[in-house]
Chain A
């Protein structure tokens, strides 16, 4: 007789959902997520947050509110750090507090503090205390955690194989039920066809998309950037599809180690796209007023200006962004690439 744990479909849902789902299900709980982001979800989030918060944080608030009444618990981990000597972003560190202060009448919050910046002991203690809410057996918690890690590893392999989170979850059979089916043809094409290198060989346009997963994979927030580009016949490689070894190596070109995990990945991916010749263009999509991206984007722009061989564009989104404006800019960007490729 498990209880229901809700996971908001926002922020690091796109990185960790399979892991969190398997963990709670192995502990005998039922896992639900909020629906896709809609205007109503965004509006609900905007209403309870301060103006200055970034769109992804506002969207997250909206998803938490959308889970009210649908579950017994809502899982809002405090993601301080997921690797040694690096953070995610200050807003992730205060997320459960922000939700608690702003959202009334929501299910009980599970706010496990995930901090791997110094030791793994702290992390295992958080896993254990989270598990203890549902079972007394330490063994069972450990086993659930192992299964969760395995699921995450499989998920990451799918992503690095060129699938988007939605597609990867569909392949793993854990897509949230109310979703429209992922675009099967595209998934099949990118997983069987050898990925971007093959697409490039076949004369197709390949674009590297740099952006936080919670922006580029959320169709509402990103104004459908992935689907739009694919409809224009473009093969898209996102920053998450590059192996960590590549992004780490490339990010090390910056004289100082970037202390944001996602920021370092974006920087490494951007450098790779701009320098390796593996893509025809590099598109950076960011949220208005995103702190890390204000500096990462600047460094990438300067790199692009120095090299001048791969077109680079930045698109900034916020809650006022209109789809028509984005579409025009995407078309213009793809046109620029096409014109440069003509002999």
Chain B
């Protein structure tokens, strides 16, 4: 049994560590490319949202490498993601692929079913082994988050263009290779060092504009589908922060659900004047984080969403009111299989120009 799963940014580092430590043989799909996207969109429903299409491409490319089992998460709505697994299974079966799909549904308070599904993936294991695998995966996940944050902080000040991104890639590789939490720690320390070295003392603007990235989790986290918005902004000299990191997402959406803890209410509180009810996906978080960035006096917010994403459309619909009330520029970028780098770059440059002009205006007014 060779297990594969869909890509979402650097999530593969964590998932691979988890599954391999539990004894599964893992095939990580090739990083998403134009080929992935074109295979995926050829076989997917036209109006399905982008993640479904890229997932299909990932699965097919992984099966070409010998994978025969697909691990996928489920959901209970109202976002379409909850039905992805079943629809993807139909698509791949009709294409003649032989595989098993294991869909892990959210526990909704009952853990037994989840454990059964995980058991199907990795076979029987003593409890201690689960604990060990979880610790390793957790260490890698937090390390990846920290390295991504450091790279965002380093880009506007990097010595030469691409230095921070290259440093991030080598640091991530160290983390990916580490086989124990202690080694992850060492890899992280090394990674910190490499990223620090990428910054040039006195390089860049000493007071760069700050832009927050909000939106749907998949397009925010997957650089391939968002045309590398984060890197491009950083290289334009912008300090970027995003509202979602994988670690936060796992904490909020998986752990607190399993442990039945009260979820963080802050985005909901902040979003209340504009959007006062859960709308699925990350709709409320998008609005709440935009308010949060406005309060922290960020210079602008960019919302990323897949074309036809329902929760993000609700958010997008109310964001102009947030922008008007709190005086923060907001731009929405919608992605599908037709998005191109050039179009995105033009819009980013225009947005950054606008942000910088309004900063100068504010500064001259004193």
Contact = CB atoms under 8 A, between A and B. Distances in A.
Interface in B29-87: 45-49, 74, 76-80, 82-83, 85-87
B331 interface: no
Interface stretch (A85-93, A276-284, A331-339): A85-93
A54 B307 CA distance: 12
Interface of A, helix, strand, loop or mixed by DSSP: mixed
A53 B313 CA distance: 6
A256 interface: yes
Given A255-B86, A291-B80, A49 B317 contact: yes
Chain B contact-residue range equals 35 or more
Contacts, number: 121
Interface stretch (B109-117, B149-157, B279-287, B348-356): B279-287
Interface stretch (A24-32, A125-133, A153-161, A296-304): A296-304
A68 to B, nearest CB: 18
B278 A101 contact: no
Interface in A242-279: 254-256, 258-260
Contacts of A49: 317
Nearest to B280: A90
Nearest 10 pairs of A and B residues by beta carbon: A259-B77, A94-B314, A294-B47, A87-B78, A298-B45, A101-B321, A90-B310, A90-B280, A291-B310, A289-B308
B215 interface: no
Contacts of B279: 90-91, 93-94
A341 B303 CA distance: 53
B77 A294 contact: no
Interface of A: 49-50, 52-54, 78, 80, 85-91, 93-94, 97-98, 101-102, 113, 254-256, 258-260, 288-295, 297-299, 302
Contact of B275 (A85, A89, A97, A256): A97
Contacts of B86: 254-256
Most-contacted residue by chain A among B94, B274, B313 (CB, 10 A) = B313
A294 B279 CA distance: 18
Interface in B132-156: none
B318 A94 contact: yes
B277 A50 contact: no
B329 interface: no
B90 interface: yes
A220 B114 CA distance: 47
Contact of A94 (B79, B275, B305): B275
B283 A259 contact: no
Contacts of B83: 256, 258-259, 295
B276 A97 contact: yes
A304 to B, nearest CB: 12
Nearest to B325: A101
B76 A259 contact: yes
B24 interface: no
A89 B317 contact: no
Contacts of A80: 277
B211 to A, nearest CB: 21
Contacts of B90: 298-299, 302
A302 B77 contact: no
B316 interface: yes
A97 B274 contact: yes
A98 B320 contact: no
A94 B277 CA distance: 7
A93 B308 CA distance: 16
Contact of A294 (B45, B313, B318, B320): B45
14 contacts: A49-B317, A50-B317, A50-B332, A52-B307, A53-B317, A90-B281, A90-B314, A97-B275, A97-B314, A256-B85, A259-B78, A260-B77, A294-B49, A297-B47
Nearest to B83: A295
Most-contacted residue by chain A among B45, B91, B317 (CB, 10 A) = B317
Contact of B78 (A89, A289, A294, A295): A89
Given A90-B78, A101-B320, A294 B46 contact: yes
Contacts of A293: 47
Nearest to B90: A302
A101 B318 contact: yes
B178 interface: no
A98 B317 contact: yes
A295 B80 contact: yes
Given A87-B280, A294-B49, A295-B48, 5 more contacts: A88-B78, A91-B310, A94-B318, A113-B277, A295-B87
B334 interface: yes
Contacts of A78: 277
Contacts of B280: 87, 90, 93
Contacts of B288: none
B234 interface: no
B191 interface: no
Nearest to B89: A255
B223 to A, nearest CB: 22
Contacts of A260: 77-78
B312 to A, nearest CB: 8
A89 B310 CA distance: 8
Interface in B233-256: none
Nearest to B324: A101
Given A49-B317, A290-B47, A93 B77 contact: no
Given A89-B78, A254-B86, A260-B77, A97 B318 contact: yes
